[in-house]
Structure 1
């Protein structure tokens, strides 16, 4: 007789796999079920344009994974299964319409000198932030890595008060609630410096005026200078393939192309799942669902708690993202040759423009000037393209999941099938404006619309790559709902994980790791 697994995990995104790896390392027998033909969710790599050109489907930056507690604990074992990183000392830069640029590198003196070119006062402030970063980062990462329950928060508050005092603790709390614009305006005077940092907020649904968003530009800037950036050798899927191999080596299983149609529960207790072919699989200890909040309701048919059900149904998603994968004869002809050394080049000229783009996308409009994140992975890892060739990884932020109109009035389409080409051309026009001649070097192109993202992965509702807004009302103890930020649900033995659960989106695998430790211990 086949033994039932201790834990069944629905979905094979990186949070699911991290959870499964940790449980397997603690002796649990795990079985992961993924509806797609390959694991990874938003963290996968493929030849989407031409043979030999390896593009990351969505996530490219693996710095959070490389620095995560999960990797610190299991990195040695994962390396034996092929995990390999490609680090860079030049993580990101911003290029501006006036031809000036600012880059953050893993060299404090160099980065400070670049900032001094914009403002002497800002260079002094940058030095102050650099000097205080180790102590401040320890406190911030303690919050972002803590379980969201009263016991853990009480312990954390006590430690923070002891280390930082009352005034320092209140300053930290104030900073965690600030918008990017409020913090940047109070810290720097150069609009170029402000825009360079504010662009990072757009990666995680924090336009300049959204409360609670200041921490992300701060951390990306300071961590980028302190540690550089980490990509996956050969593609972001290196973390996915290594975790799958670890699971299987420890006796677990990952079943791709196997959709789950329902979660079975009796008398308020989860007992297993039913697959789309009608097969029932029982779980001895836990059913873990890495799904969107509304997806959880669909699979369970309801959790029996009206407040939880309402929170799941009303869970708010961020605007979507369009991806443009380009196979290139050569890199863009940037106005400064140094920009060809950076993993990311942001084309986001001002905080006002970013705020306008965000407001337009929220209103269902195709933005007139979306933020462009130009990833240059072959600068860091030449193995991703044939000799002498390159790839570009373009994130077009923001884009509405449902199109109601066009901010310029020139695109008539109201569905992504028809809007994809003209909107992609708008993004490429922006790139061409900053780096003339780029278009003639494109030898392959593949556009991924918000609709395509959701079709590939139902967790990415409307193309929302972080599975839910991280605004304060839906973060910390409220992610995804008050009382359920630890991954529990009203149904016993049923647990919720993934980017919709605290601590949210990104490649750090925090939700999966925290849940696994809750279930099986550290």
Structure 2
């Protein structure tokens, strides 16, 4: 095998995007994955019963569909089998009393529905979306661009000239508003606040987090445009398309390849990697690591001759992980019949929550190490979009619980016995899933009689599947303001550089953070020669 230009460690969405972007430039790339399959948080299996196809973790590809990576690679991936399934009703909220709000991809319908909830709320939503649209080029440059770069400095300077320095600072201040302040200030309807409050959880934040208000607006803007699409046939088909593209470009992908160290070259430059079996793979231009910070600096660079700088060591010691995640999957004998009515039948993602206060309460309980008494439940209905995910006439449900403690200190409801060491045992996992199931079953007429099988993954299970999901955190670390944007992963970080020449760091732990947009892989793959 000839020496590649780049070796990429890890095979999540950012690694695959980086590999494909480099391949477009004629660079030969080798992707190394320690597990028996590629994909990171993208994983599809028949985990409940034969013929029921579940995306175990990530399933909604709206960020990818709207990303620069898809704009660059989409046609090539589609030519290799990638396609998406859609619905015109991407999301909804369902409250305990059965009241609900359905969000569509039609602005006029949304405005009319929100206006019916409370006079002025429809007009307020239209103003919010129009305002975001007017700021989109600048806002998305900040959210997804290389922050330490001339283009960003020029964009900020241009905005300062347009708005004036004080006006620009006021704009930045508005972006830092919490979701609670934004939702309570913009909308009179509790139901409309309930629709958007759960979505900030999917950004690794809570309703009281700085800049969560901006994230709520961005999500509304994105899903009104692109919905909540899933990959037809399962997210694994996105991985297959990437693999075919990378191989067609002259690259290669190897699973079961556990990288244990970075190999130094002349001048202590990264010259390649060492595998657990002793094999060394060198690279002409460098090494890209799509791993968590502790894996890169605590494991792969443990024996590297150039010591880790003091500021990086300090940053690693202070690095904080976010809340854990619980996934629950159901195989059903028939599609769910929602007691609230058929308006929910084709909704991609339904949040079950009492509302804004309920989301705040559950998030706070999880952050304090408690099992939430009434967790926010995200219910995905993949078979409503893609019937091929289950045998004829049957269905699957995809549940995500984004408010789960990494280490359990207690149960907010006081009914689940928690081990003294705080571990997620099988008994705790299943008891918590029973709590969630009771909340869900109260809204579905045919649920109890329709369950064929259930499969639950606790935060500990997720970490066992992927070493980078520390404590079951799917967002690569706490996403609060002080550990995001310019300060991700560390206060000393500059884009995706490391202290070692020829070694770069990408993934959810780096800017622009988590999600299926492949942002860090795209930025680095575009920048490298």
- What pairs up with 1:167-206 in 2 under 5 angstroms? 169-206=168-205
Task: Render the CA deviation track for 1:27-70: whole Å, top value 9, x for unaligned.
Answer: 11111110111111101211111111111111111011111111
1:353-502 map, 5 Å:
353-414=358-419, 415-417=423-425, 418-502=427-511
TM-score scaled by structure 2? 0.95
Structure 1 unaligned runs (5+)?
none
SS in 1 for 2:453: strand
Q: Structure 1 length normalisation: TM-score? A: 0.96
CA distance in 2, matches of 1:83, 1:213: 32
What RMSD over aligned residues (CA atoms) do the two structures have, in Å?
A: 1.6
User: In structure 2, what is the equivalent of residue 9 of structure 1?
Assistant: 8
Alignment match of 1:336 (pick from 330, 336, 341): 341
2:357 alignment counterpart: 352
Contact 2:102 2:343 (C-alpha < 8 Å) held by counterparts: no
Please report how far the alpha carbon of residue 222 of structure 1 lies from its aligned counterpart in structure 2 after TM superposition.
2.2
* Shift of residue 171, structure 1, vs aligned partner: 4.1
Structure 2: gaps spanning 5 or more residues = none
Question: 1:260: Cα distance to partner?
Answer: 1.0
Q: Distance in 1 between matches of 2:448 and 2:66?
A: 36
The Cα of 1:502 is off from its aligned counterpart by 0.1
Q: Does the aligned pair in 2 maintain the 1:323–1:447 contact within 8 Å? A: yes
SS of 1:88 mapped into structure 2 = coil
Q: CA deviation at 1:179?
A: 0.9
Q: CA deviation at 1:456?
A: 0.8
The Cα of 1:358 is off from its aligned counterpart by 1.4
Greater shift, 263-272 or 450-459, is seen at 263-272
Name the counterpart of 1:281: 281
**Structure 1 residues 125-134 or 113-122, which shifts more?**
125-134
Instruction: Provide the secondary structure at the position in 2 that maps to 1:117.
Output: helix
Q: Distance in 1 between matches of 2:224 and 2:13?
A: 26
Deviation of the 1:169 alpha carbon: 3.1
One of 314, 322, 328 as aligned partner of 1:324: 328
Give aligned pairs, total: 519
Equivalent position SS for 1:23: helix
Q: Distance in 2 between matches of 1:292 and 1:245?
A: 26
Q: Distance in 1 between matches of 2:330 and 2:319?
A: 34
User: Structure 1, residues 232-261: CA drift from partner, whole Å, max 9, x if none?
Assistant: 111122221111111111111100111111
Counterparts of 1:111 and 1:164, CA distance in 2: 31
CA distance in 2, matches of 1:491, 1:252: 24
Cα 1:387/1:276, change in 2 over 3 Å: same
Q: Say whether the 8 Å CA contact 1:104–1:224 is kept in structure 2.
A: no
The separation in 2 between residues aligned to 1:350 and 1:408, in whole angstroms, is: 18
Tell me the distance in 2 between the aligned counterparts of 1:466 and 1:492: 27
Kept in 2, the 8 Å contact 1:89–1:229? The answer is no
Deviation string for 1:428-450 (max 9, x for gaps)? 11111233442221112111111
- Structure 1 Cα separation of the partners of residues 56 and 329 of structure 2: 8
Q: Does 1:49 align with 2:48?
A: yes
The CA distance in 2 between the partners of 1:518 and 1:188, in whole Å, is 42
- 1:481 CA displacement: 1.6
Alignment check: 8 A CA contact 1:485 1:501 kept: no
Q: 2:308 aligns with which of 286, 304, 307?
A: 304
CA distance in structure 1 between the aligned counterparts of 2:270 and 2:342, rounded to whole angstroms: 58
Q: 1:205, 1:249 → 2: CA distance?
A: 36
Q: Give the aligned partner of residue 143 of structure 1.
A: 142
C-alpha distance 170-434 of structure 1, shift in aligned 2 (>3 A):
farther
3-state DSSP of counterpart to 1:397: strand
Counterpart secondary structure, 1:470: coil
The answer as to 2:102 corresponding to 1:103 is yes
**TM-fit CA distance, 1:483:** 4.0
1:399 and 1:355 map into 2 onto residues whose CA distance is: 13
